[in-house]
Amino acid sequence: MQDVTQTRTDAPDSAASMASPPAATQALPAWDLSDLYAAPDDPRLTADLDRAEAESRAFEAAHAGRLASLSGDALASAIATYEGIEEILGRAMSFAQLVFSGDAQSAENGRFYQTIQERVTTISSHLLFLTLELNRLEDASLEQKMLSSAALARWRPWLRDLRVFRAHQLSDDLEKLLHEKEVTGRSAWNRLFDETVASMRVDVGGEEQTVSAALNKLSDNDRAVRAAAAKGVSAAFGDRVRLFSLITNVLAKDKEIIDGWRRYPRATSSRNRANMVEDEVVDALVAAVRESFPRLSHRYYGMKAKWLGLPKLMHWDRNAPLPDDADTTISWPEAVARVRAAYGAFSPELERIAAPFFEKPWIDAALRPGKASGAFAHPTVPSAHPYLLLNYHGKARDVMTLAHELGHGVHQVLAAQQGYLMSSTPLTLAETASVFGEMLTFRAVLDAERDPRKRRALLAGKVEDMLNTVVRQIAFYRFETLLHEERRKGEVAHERIGEIWMQVQTESLGPAFDFTPDYSVYWAYIPHFVHTPFYVYAYAFGDCLVNALYGVFREGHPRFQEKYLEMLKAGGTKRHKELLAPFGLDASDPAFWRKGLDVISGFIDELEQAG
């Protein structure tokens, strides 16, 4: 099964409130999942799973142990059959994930999600042999088969990416054991984390809030409200810190064991292989961002402290609105209009692809208890369509989140033509369309604004979003790296986890901040650390890539829109070097990262000059 849901989480993006939503957010869309299945008890779901099980057993009986002897055309036919069965399983699993995301508090939803996951895992165990046997084929033999078969050559990109893991593949029995135990291993701990956070309530000034609603209060205009929310979040996670520490320690140890068996040189290597980037390329990105902390986050937050009239910022001031920020509530129809206009001004074709998301029930933006926090885009399967989840409070940042997730959605629609196995992109490229869509929307709003004070507020908001995307995510990555390294010496006490968290926060955010001791538990609410270890650097990768790409667009690169759409249509068939070459960009060049970071620094320069 593919792990292809693009997620986005940081304090300002979260959102499901127990309190009554403001008037501007009371008529928000909710998705209708019936394009997948009508309900968890839909007979079509049972029939699909039964069919997939029968087909997978027949497929295993026909082909297991025989792939090496197949002709190129016969092997291509086998892969096509495998893809068809995987898509059936992908549809079922997507439906279960979306149902659970809609209300993770529901015990019934939790049982349904687990049941489907277990059934899908059992069925897919009959398909596991195909990828294992393909990776045992010699390069010369496989190449000869592809040269003799145009049908097999079509699968070249998928085979290329599959074979990146050849050196880390275990015996068939071990691979099958790990596959089947997943439902009682990592995924079970993931579910425990999700259900725990979904059921938590945070005391914010005497009012009960969900975790995501309380985190949203950290961007409130009133500093007293922000402080109360911060205190409540600290208390709620502090009360459960031993549980979150246990989850973190178990998953880190589980990863260490598997990485050791697979002979990965370090904890980050498996994620980098999946992202189709070398360890050294990621190291260069991380080093470039860390070196830029003083000219980016340290400088900006020093300016922000002065704007707010504070000698030092507390952690609850990080996302505080600026004095010039009117903090107006933006209605959903207005947000949609802004995003669609920005997409359409760039490319009418892009806006045409985006239109169904708003004309059909493909978006869930409503606020309700139990709903997943943050935002994500789920591609489901090529035979259906993506779904978007966000929690809309009517803030300017929420509009940017809509633009971001819509970027994922249109990317997934365009890439669907590559089929189930080749439509998914590595995480490093998956953020391209989302961040680009965000940039298009921001530029459209900024260019239309004539009031200097409002322009400063808009520009500062964008800088903060970029710092959250680049600086903060690299700090998260640094936290994970240090934590996983320390876990190899033994279980890490929650106090020590807190110390590592405070170390990277101090390093990344700089001397403008005073951190209260209770901030040391804030690592516990970040779901990426649990669900997708070392995912977070992909945000910085994507942001810097888009900064460079957008610069090429602003310079009037010929046929940019056409080339951009072709890049998105490629899905997972091309690597970043091939995708960026038509634009004259090369992510392996160290200057590429500096160019991306210079865009952020340039925005801060403009703010500094404005005073």
Indicate whether this model's pTM tops 0.95. no
Residue 306: its pLDDT value, please?
95
Residues whose CB is less than 8 angstroms from the CB of residue 451 and which lie 6 or more positions away in sequence, other chains included = none
pLDDT, one tens digit per residue, over 97-110 is 999 999 988 999 99
Please give the structure tokens belonging to residue 537.
Answer: 């650097």
Helices (H), 149-185: 150-153, 156-162, 172-181
Helices (H), 263-395: 269-274, 279-292, 299-307, 332-346, 348-359
CA distance 265 to 131: 23
- In terms of phi and psi (left: phi > 0; alpha: psi -120 to 50; beta: otherwise), the region of 309 is left
> For domain 23-187, which architecture applies?
Up-down Bundle (1.20)
pLDDT, one tens digit per residue, over 332-358 is 999 999 999 999 999 999 999 999 999
Residue 588: its pLDDT value, please?
76
* Length of the chain measured in residues: 611
Closest alpha carbon to 183 in 130, 124, 126, 131? 124
Q: Could you tell me whether strands 363-364 and 387-389 are parallel, antiparallel, or unpaired per DSSP bridges?
A: parallel
217 alpha-carbon distance from chain centroid: 23
Residue 278: its pLDDT value, please?
83
Residues whose CB is less than 8 angstroms from the CB of residue 570 and which lie 6 or more positions away in sequence, other chains included = 415, 418, 579
Residues whose CB is less than 8 angstroms from the CB of residue 538 and which lie 6 or more positions away in sequence, other chains included = 275, 427, 428, 430, 431
- Collect the ranges in the chain with pLDDT lower than 50: 1-4, 6, 8-20
Convert 60-82 into a string of H (helix), E (strand) and C (coil): HHHHCCCHHHCCHHHHHHHHHHH
Domain ranges (residues) in the chain: 23-187
Residue 9: its pLDDT value, please?
43
Residue 24: its pLDDT value, please?
55
